[in-house]
């Protein structure tokens, strides 16, 4: 299991110290929720923030995998800017594509930038496109809330999609994102998910390092 804390619920004036607390708590990934107010009904942050965080992580000597979750329309336009900003993984939404062939083109462009490619699906999107893409991606992201906001309730019926995908692709990185906390964490892992995004359940706590260790200590 790898932990991918989302900074969506961070104190944005203290990002440097907060990502350091996440790394000290044992987080391997830094999950970066990019929202455009169009694909989702909310705006978060974009390329310059990712670039600054990358520099800050290096300055602080933090070993974090930068995991950019693009909740934006027309993700193809932003592959190069996020790659240049320092994202290691670029995940876009299947719902932004007409079909699997269009998704394949975006995956290819991410890999041309020497980055890992992820494809995300919303709670109401069927698992079939990910079954078809499983051999062509580095990570699948199964949303367990409707994207747009941190702190929402976990949608348990999405676990079934993780089970189906895990049976189909035993070695694929499968990430789940939204509403995960210490109460449902074990169920998420049992479904076959191996990269767990946790946002508000960690970043809204006063001791972020201890809140992170509560998850990473379970391995």
Residue 43 DSSP symbol: B
User: What distance in Å separates the CA atoms of residue 161 and residue 41, rounded to the nearest whole number?
Assistant: 25
**Min dist. Cβ of residue 112 to ligand DX5 (A):** 25
DSSP symbols for 10-22: S-TTSHHHHHHHH
Residue 30: Cβ within 10 Å count: 24
**Residue among 8, 34, 64, 106 that touches ligand DX5 (CB under 6 A):** 8
177 binds Zn ion (CB under 5 A): yes
Length of the chain: 219
Query: Which of 75, 22, 3 minimizes the C-alpha distance to 207?
Result: 22
Using CB under 6 A as the binding rule, the residues of this chain from 72 to 101 that contact ligand DX5 are none
Which residue has the closest beta carbon to ligand DX5?
A: 199
67 binds Zn ion (CB under 5 A): no
**Residue among 69, 93, 115, 116 that touches Zn ion (CB under 5 A):** 69
Interface region with ligand DX5, contact rule CB under 6 A, candidates 45-53, 100-108, 110-118, 171-179: 171-179
101: annotated active-site residue: no
Q: Taken in order 27, 188, 124, 147, is the CA torsion positive or negative?
A: negative
Please report, as ranges, the residues that interact with ligand DX5 according to CB under 6 A: 6, 8-9, 31, 33, 69, 145, 147-152, 177-180, 197-201
Please report, as ranges, the residues that interact with Zn ion according to CB under 5 A: 33, 69, 177
């Amino acid at each position: 299991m790898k932990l991918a804390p989302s900074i969506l619920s961070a104190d944005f004036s203290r990002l440097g110290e907060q990502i350091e607390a996440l790394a000290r708590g044992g987080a391997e990934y830094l999950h970066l929720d990019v929202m455009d107010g169009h694909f989702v009904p909310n705006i978060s942050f974009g390329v310059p923030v990712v670039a600054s965080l990358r520099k800050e992580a290096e300055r602080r000597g933090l070993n974090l995998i930068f995991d950019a979750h693009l909740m934006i329309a027309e993700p193809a336009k932003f592959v190069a800017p996020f790659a240049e900003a320092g994202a290691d993984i670029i995940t876009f939404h299947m719902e932004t594509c007409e079909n699997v062939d269009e998704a394949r083109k975006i995956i290819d462009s991410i890999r041309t930038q020497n980055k890992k490619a992820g494809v995300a699906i919303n709670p109401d999107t069927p698992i079939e496109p990910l079954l078809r893409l499983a051999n062509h991606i580095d990570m699948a992201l199964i949303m367990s809330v409707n994207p747009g906001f941190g702190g929402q309730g976990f949608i348990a019926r999405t676990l079934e999609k993780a089970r189906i995908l895990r049976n189909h692709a035993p070695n694929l990185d499968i990430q789940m994102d939204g509403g995960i906390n210490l109460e449902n964490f074990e169920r998420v892992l049992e479904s076959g998910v191996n990269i767990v995004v946790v946002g508000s359940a960690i970043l809204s706590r006063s001791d972020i390092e201890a809140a992170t260790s509560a998850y990473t200590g379970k391995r």
